[in-house]
Amino acid sequence: MIDKPDKKSQGAVKLGLVATDPLRILGLQTIFFEQGIQGATVEIIPLSVPGALDASGVSLILIDSACTDHIFELLATFRRTRPHLRLIVLGLEEDHEYIQRIIGAGAKGYLAHTARPSEVRLAIEIVQDGSAWAPRKVLANLLDVSSAEERRATVEEPKFTERESEVLRLLVDGHPNRVIAGELGIDLATVKKHVGALMRKVGVKNRIALSVQVVNRKLLPT
């Protein structure tokens, strides 16, 4: 008699979870208890914010935005230190502009706390496969940006002054004009002037599109 391979023999997908609410951990464990992802069992690994930056063996990390007041700064830190790690943000916000900022800041997906178990599983599978997960309107806006990017593919990449690069780096990290002004020791009017110049050089009409373009086209040196 030949034994059939069980799910454990196919290996486990390790998902990190940064959350302070124990119910969030229990909820995810329940979702994947009976059904894994792509034929593999799923192991949920609770992480702290500092621990997530050093976590090894995880293929994807879910971050509950309720556990931090600085979600954009956290995403920026991940992008600098672990640029290849896939991130999905969980949150209460359902505003499309906010979600687009989350994706523009480096997350590969966004799920509302009210998402159904089937939606959570599908989102993780899609992100695991290298795609993005967000509301259709948000993805459509990102696709519009990508299309515009392709149309400019033959155009020379924009060149930024040293100050513009400083402003742009802080802007992509999710900082408002007020914080950028304080960090660089300049006034708000000067920050707005630099942001306007940056949007013209990159060929976009708003800050969100600017952040998305900069990240997608890798316009800032690492």
Q: Does domain 7-136 have CATH number 3.40.50.2300?
A: yes
Structure tokens belonging to residue 174: 């999710």
**Residue 32's pLDDT band (cuts 50, 70, 90):** confident
Cβ atoms of 27 and 57 within 8 Å: the answer is no
Q: What pLDDT is recorded for position 1?
A: 37
| Mean pLDDT score of the chain | 82
128 φ, ψ to 5°?
-60, -35
Q: Are 17 and 45 in contact (CB under 8 A)?
A: yes
Average pLDDT over residues 197-217: 81
pLDDT, position 160: 93
pLDDT, average across residues 84-95: 91
Q: How far apart are CA 158 and CA 77, in angstroms?
A: 25
| Ranges of each domain in the chain | 7-136, 149-217
Residue percentage of the chain with pLDDT more than 70: 86
**Angle between helix 136-151 and 207-217 (nearest 10):** 60
Strands (E), the chain: 12-18, 41-47, 60-64, 86-91, 109-112
Using one digit for the tens of pLDDT, what is the confidence trace for 42-55?
888 888 887 787 87
The more confidently predicted of residues 152 and 158 is 158
Q: What is the pLDDT of residue 9?
A: 37
pTM for this model (two decimals): 0.64
Average pLDDT (8-35) is: 78
7-136 shares its CATH topology with 149-217: no
In the predicted model, is pLDDT for residue 128 greater than 50? yes
Beta strands across the sheet bearing 60-64:
41-47, 12-18, 60-64, 86-91, 109-112
pLDDT at position 209 over 80: no
Query: pLDDT tens across 186-205, in order?
Result: 998 999 999 999 989 988 87
Q: What percent of the chain is modeled with pLDDT above 90?
A: 25
CATH architecture of 149-217: Orthogonal Bundle (1.10)
